[in-house]
Amino acid sequence: MMLRPTANAWRDRRTLDGLWSFAVDHDGVGRGQRWWEAPLTGRTEIPVPASYNDLFVDDSVRGHVGDVWYQTSVHVPRSWHGERIVLRFDAATHRAVVWVGDTRVAEHEGGYTPFEADVTDVVELGSENRITVVVDNTLTWESIPPGYVEHTPDGPRQRYYHDFFNYAGLHRSVWLYTTPKAHVSDVTAVTGLDGAQGTVDYEVATAGNADGLEVRAALRDAEGTEVARTTGTSGTLVVDEVHPWRPSEGYLYELGVELWDGGAVVDAYALNVGVRTVEVRGTEFLINGEPFYFTGFGMHEDHPVRGKGHDDASMVHDFALLDWIGANSLRTSHYPYAEEILDHADRNGIVVIDETAAVGLNLGVAGGILGAEAKPTFSDDTIGEATRRTHLQAIRELVARDKNHPSVVLWSIANEPESDTEASRKYFEPLFTETRRLDPSRPVGFVNVMLAPADKCVVTELADVVMLNRYYGWYVHSGDLAAAERGLEDELNAWADRHDKPILITEYGADTVAGLHSVTPQPWTEEYQVDLLEMYHRVFDRIEAVAGEQVWNFADFATAAGFARVEGNKKGVFTRDRHPKAGAFALRRRWRKEI
């Protein structure tokens, strides 16, 4: 629904990234006092993109619950006269309202998908325009992810049921861009393979009095040579001797779409396309008709100082480490990642399980471990109709944003929700139906929690694959890897017996403090992490239906404070600053098959 900003002969863009003014609304008075109407007072500067939490040495900012305000001003060039001008936020976590000058232009719920506003009639050309954003980080029973605010004698405290810190702010780039009035508003590309022949089925949506204009589509290979061309708002481009997109080899074509008015092009948009197919057949996960075995990690967008703020340098480095260790895939646990990351995965042939922010829909035991109150999960007072509406919208926005990425091979619509009750099945059934309606070309799944084993889970039968997070040897049988091995193998066999589907192990791992060592099996040591990973691998290799292994986690990451967390979650095989633990070398030996 929303094409990314680009610059070409018909379109222009400028980023608003950089230092903005910032104010924390400790007393929650900004909306009433209409802070958007004047320069923010206090004039703290803040970098965009970044989480605000860790920047200032101030716990009242780090743990703030509620609104913070961002403000900048941008010069809108006179030369943009006659164009359609759009203000776009790649993300505002978890919800935002935006003003240009005194005019409210946008509002958005959901912290990890983009939103935009047509500001053509609002901006003043040839002058500075004030842009103000209020960002609210509160998690409620209506938000995805959910949470609740506890009012304590020391002020409000945000409680939530997921295991990563509630970073907030403008985490991704902000853009002002133009399109022509009559423009291409969406492109969808679905690819196919038949022997040496590739197909690209495309569909183009237009807007702004574009009726009657002609759409032309052309496909160019990586050298820029045109290999197919056709006309029409939808159609099929056929490529002989196609070069498919493959895991570890991100070959991309460029789909160029033009809008013609009589003899002239009035708008153009180009999209990268990887020609590949995805299919689940029995216990196999097929990419281009060949069985694919996932290796890699559940990740997090998480770094010192800037939290969840996107940064290209870290992205390039993280992908270099994925390559070094021999990973061919990642899961965007537990929310949609920056689009830059998917682009990079497309180009590098990294396979992606794309996940919504629906994490922590499990208020029982998980809540207890994470320090929030245990409550019934699905009820009128907790996760109910309103939550599901937000969840549905999150799925729609995710599919709309990521549908064209060849790297994305599977939608994960939730992580570890309650899934062993009638209520959970009722909650999830329409979400699966809607995801498949939005994108019939990809399998759909959700990640199952250990509390809902094969004979109890009633949601997995709705999914195309079995995705399991398992912690034998950590949360159960801690320190006893022999018992853990038996428990894991028995359980995986039970899943394989019940479902004729590929089993993807989407999490397994052990907290490990880098530098801690022992000659006997001691949880938290580097040796124990290695032993635990190797135990899992022995079991995976004995079970045919296992079609992939993703370790939890790529790197250590920040969480809410808790007795089970040592300055965050330490299950990374890299530290938070990306130094390898012994486990990283063990994985490299297995995945790169190097001794």
Binding site for ligand GCB (CB under 6 A): 163, 334, 415-416, 469, 507, 552, 569, 571
Cβ proximity to ligand GCB, 84 vs 571, nearer residue? 571
Q: Is 590 left (phi over 0), alpha (psi -120 to 50) or beta?
A: alpha
Q: What is d(CA 1, CA 357) in angstroms, rounded to the nearest whole number? A: 19
CA angle 423, 426, 428 (to 5 degrees): 110
Eight-class DSSP state of 124? P
Q: Closest CB to ligand GCB among 70 and 297?
A: 297
Q: Among candidates 121, 96, 92, which has minimal Cα distance to 106?
A: 96
Mode of pairing for the β-strands spanning 253-261 and 234-239: unpaired
DSSP per residue, 387-404? HHHHHHHHHHHHHHHHTT
Q: Which residue type occupies 494?
A: A
Nearer to ligand GCB, 101 or 523 (CB): 523
Closer Cβ to ligand GCB, 272 or 412, answer by number:
412
Q: Give least dist CB 382 to ligand GCB, A.
A: 19
Cα distances (angstroms) measured from residue 468 to each of 245, 308, 445, 495, 507: 27, 25, 11, 10, 7
The answer to whether residues 148 and 93 touch, using CB atoms and an 8 Å cutoff, is no
Short-list 282, 284, 295, CA closest to 328: 295
- Pairing state between β 278-281 and 284-287: antiparallel
**Least distance in Å: CB of 163 to ligand GCB?**
4
CA 218 from centroid of its chain's CA atoms: 30
Nearer of residues 94 and 220 to ligand GCB, judged by Cβ: 94
CB of 178 to ligand GCB, least distance (A): 40
* CB closer to ligand GCB out of 148 and 471: 471
Query: Which of 406, 392, 502 lies closest to 438, judged by CA?
Result: 392
Q: Which residue is nearest to ligand GCB (CB)?
A: 163
* Catalytic-role residue among 83, 507, 526, 549: 507
Query: How many Cα atoms within 13 Å fall on the side-chain side of residue 523?
Result: 18
Residue number with CB closer to ligand GCB (22 or 411): 411
Q: Which is nearer to ligand GCB, 177 or 552 (CB)?
A: 552
At its nearest, how many Å lie between ligand GCB and the CB of residue 370? 9
At 18, which helix (H) or strand (E)?
strand 18-24
- Written as six digits, the tokens of 437 are 């309606």
The answer to whether residue 416 is catalytic is: yes
Q: Give me the least distance between CB of 507 and ligand GCB, in Å please.
A: 5
In the chain, the N- to C-terminal Cα span, in Å, equals 48
Q: CA-to-CA distance for 425 and 256, rounded, in angstroms?
A: 42
Of 533, 537, 529, nearest to 511 (Cα)?
529
CA nearest to 176, candidates 101, 269, 80, 96: 80
Alpha helices in 439-525 (DSSP H): 481-498
Known catalytic membership, residue 507? yes
Distance CA 534, CA 536 (A): 5
Q: Which two tokens stand for residue 56?
A: 């200032």
Which residue number, 266 or 449, has a Cβ lying nearer to ligand GCB? 449
Catalytic residue among 116, 301, 397, 416: 416
Cα–Cα dist 458/455, whole Å: 8
Catalytic annotation, residues = 416, 507
